[in-house]
């Protein structure tokens, strides 16, 4: 992997190590300001909604201001908003800073994901995005331990510590990443060998729309696991805190599974087949949750769906990056990423309503059914639509990245 990839992966792990405050936002609102559970939930939903324009702004700012500047701006904005939450003296102030946090929260993602896509060839993108996913998982494991220590002291210190990791990450990347250079989307087939500007129009790309639709359903399932698992465990006789053990097992599985991405049989699978396999594994793991009543069976189900998560995340970002024209990677990844903002807003509602009205087993069965539907859609609709996409600039770029000549031989 190029140095840029390792820098972004390491910085993401540092940033994730401090990203333990958000799950405690509703707790802080309820305990320190006496707000009702409904009010706390609405403020958390407002944060989730704010991440949607944040993701789109990240893609546009990366093209206009530069990737490094956008990354530093996003991380610094997150730090300031976190410090504002920690120092807030009223519920209105917390609400304002929570929304500001959402508006800065996703600025980092499109430029960092775009830098990774451009730093490696198409054949290495799956591994590179897999490393990024593993960094998030590894950082999340340590984040839980830090949260357990600081949270017993004062919840506000969680936001202070999170802000400090954001500032540390911003400083490292501002110093170590290459300077921003003007970029524009272009096709390498212009007259006289000069690049011709092309318009980046992700909203008109049917293949990207198909990936976004599948990605939104996948993100909804993923966020429902985060929201519902502690509540579901309590209903089947476990302590809600046992969810931390299962999330740790998931993180360990994600990290340990990274070498598998390079196995010839797995790496050689077409993208649509690998994504369908990932969705099927997630369905199997979630179906295991529906019938599990012991800790070993819950751990086994967690490992299975986590393996599916590894396959889906690494491949999906690679497919979206391949769809983008040269210079348009940030915008494409930004549009694809709003699926997580939608899921973050919707999952607390769908998960709690399903638990209240149909129960634990039906909740996990429904999530497994959605994953099976995604696997079928990937094979029958999304995969063929993406495969039919032909673009001269993509073909030439892929050949150049692979070291192949872009013109006829001879």
Indicate if the pLDDT at residue 100 is higher than 80: yes
Q: What is the rounded (10 degree) CA torsion for 108, 114, 119, 125? A: 110
Residue range 332-366, pLDDT digits in tens: 888 888 888 888 778 877 888 888 888 899 999 99
> CB of 120 within 8 A of CB of 9?
no
Query: What percent of the chain clears pLDDT 70, i.e. is strictly above it?
Result: 83
* pLDDT band, residue 231 (cuts 50/70/90): confident
Characterise 238 by phi-psi region: left (phi > 0), alpha (psi -120 to 50), beta (else). Answer: beta
Q: What is the DSSP letter of 197?
A: E
Domains 1-178 and 202-394 share a fold: yes
Instruction: Band the pLDDT of 144: cuts 50, 70, 90.
Output: low
Do the beta carbons of residue 59 and residue 7 sit within 8 Å?
A: no
- Retrieve residue 332's tokens: 């494409």
Structure tokens at 259: 């070498």
User: Which residue, among 50, 175, 315, has the nearest Cα to 58 in the 3D structure?
Assistant: 50
Band the pLDDT of 289: cuts 50, 70, 90. Answer: very high
What pLDDT score was predicted for residue 105?
A: 86
The dotted CATH code for 1-178 is 1.20.1250.20
| Greater pLDDT, 220 or 29 | 220
Tokens of 200: 């980046």
Q: What pLDDT, on the 0 to 100 scale, is given for residue 4?
A: 86
Residue with tokens 């639709």: 213
- State phi, psi for 196 to the nearest 5 degrees: -105, 130
Q: Is the dihedral of CA 158, 163, 164, 165 positive or negative?
A: positive
Q: Is the pTM of this model over 0.85?
A: no
Rg for the chain, CA atoms, rounded: 21
Residue 405: what pLDDT? 33
Over residues 193-216, mean pLDDT: 74
Measure CA 62 to chain center.
Answer: 18
Give the pLDDT of residue 147.
63
Residue with tokens 């096709």: 187
Question: Each residue of 110-135: pLDDT tens digit?
Answer: 888 888 888 887 778 878 888 887 87
**Which of residues 27 and 227 earns the better pLDDT score?**
227
| The residue to which tokens 């009543």 are assigned | 293
Strand partners, 196: 187
CA of residue 376 relative to chain centroid, distance:
23
- What pLDDT, on a 0 to 100 scale, did the predictor assign at position 400? 40
CATH class of 202-394: mainly alpha
Q: What is the pLDDT of residues 75-99, one digit of tens each?
A: 999 999 999 998 988 889 989 999 9
User: pLDDT at residue 298 above 70?
Assistant: yes
- CB of 130 within 8 A of CB of 82? no
What pLDDT does 291 receive?
93
67's tokens: 């990737």
pLDDT of residue 377: 93
Helix axes 360-377, 271-291, angle to 10 degrees: 170
DSSP assignment letter at 76 = H
Tell me the domain boundaries of the chain: 1-178, 202-394
- pLDDT given for residue 55 in this prediction: 85
Work out the mean pLDDT of the chain and round it to a whole number. Answer: 80
**Does residue 186 carry a pLDDT above 60?**
no
Angle at the Cα of 85 (from 83 to 88), degrees rounded to 5?
105
């Amino acid at each position: 992997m190029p140095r840029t990839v390792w820098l972004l992966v390491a910085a993401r792990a540092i940033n994730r190590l401090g990203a333990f405050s958000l799950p405690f936002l509703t707790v802080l609102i309820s305990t320190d300001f006496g707000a009702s559970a409904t009010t706390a939930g609405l403020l958390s939903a407002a944060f989730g909604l704010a991440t949607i324009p944040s993701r789109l702004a990240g893609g546009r700012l990366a093209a206009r201001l530069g990737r490094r500047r956008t990354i530093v701006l996003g991380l610094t904005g997150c730090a300031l908003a976190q410090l504002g939450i920690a120092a807030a003296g009223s519920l209105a102030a917390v609400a304002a800073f929570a929304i500001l946090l959402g508006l800065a929260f996703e600025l980092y993602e499109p430029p960092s994901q775009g830098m990774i896509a451009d730093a490696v060839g198409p054949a290495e993108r799956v591994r590179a995005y897999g490393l990024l996913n593993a960094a998030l998982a590894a950082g999340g494991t340590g984040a839980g331990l830090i949260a357990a220590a600081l949270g017993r002291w004062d919840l506000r210190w969680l936001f202070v510590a999170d802000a400090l990791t954001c500032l540390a990450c911003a400083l490292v990347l501002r110093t170590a990443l290459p300077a921003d250079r003007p970029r524009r989307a272009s096709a390498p087939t212009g007259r006289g060998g000069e690049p011709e500007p092309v318009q980046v129009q992700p909203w008109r790309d049917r293949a990207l729309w198909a990936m976004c639709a599948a990605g939104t359903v996948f993100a909804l399932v993923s966020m429902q696991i985060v929201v519902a698992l502690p509540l579901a465990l309590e209903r089947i006789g476990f302590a809600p805190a046992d969810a931390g053990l299962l999330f740790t097992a998931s993180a360990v599985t994600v990290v340990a599974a990274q070498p598998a991405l390079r196995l010839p049989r797995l790496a050689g699978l077409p993208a649509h087949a690998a994504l369908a396999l990932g969705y099927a594994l997630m369905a199997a793991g979630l179906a295991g949750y529906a019938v599990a009543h012991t800790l070993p069976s819950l751990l086994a189900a967690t490992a299975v769906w986590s393996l599916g998560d590894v396959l889906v995340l690494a491949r999906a970002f690679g497919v979206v990056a391949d769809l983008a024209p040269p210079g348009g990677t940030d915008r494409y990844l930004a549009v694809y990423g709003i699926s997580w903002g939608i899921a973050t807003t919707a999952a607390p509602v769908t998960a709690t309503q399903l638990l209240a009205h149909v129960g634990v087993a039906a909740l996990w069965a429904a999530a497994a059914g959605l994953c099976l539907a995604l696997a079928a859609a990937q094979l029958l609709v999304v995969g063929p639509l993406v495969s039919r996409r032909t673009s001269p600039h993509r073909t030439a770029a892929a050949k150049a990245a692979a070291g192949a000549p872009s013109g006829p031989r001879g």
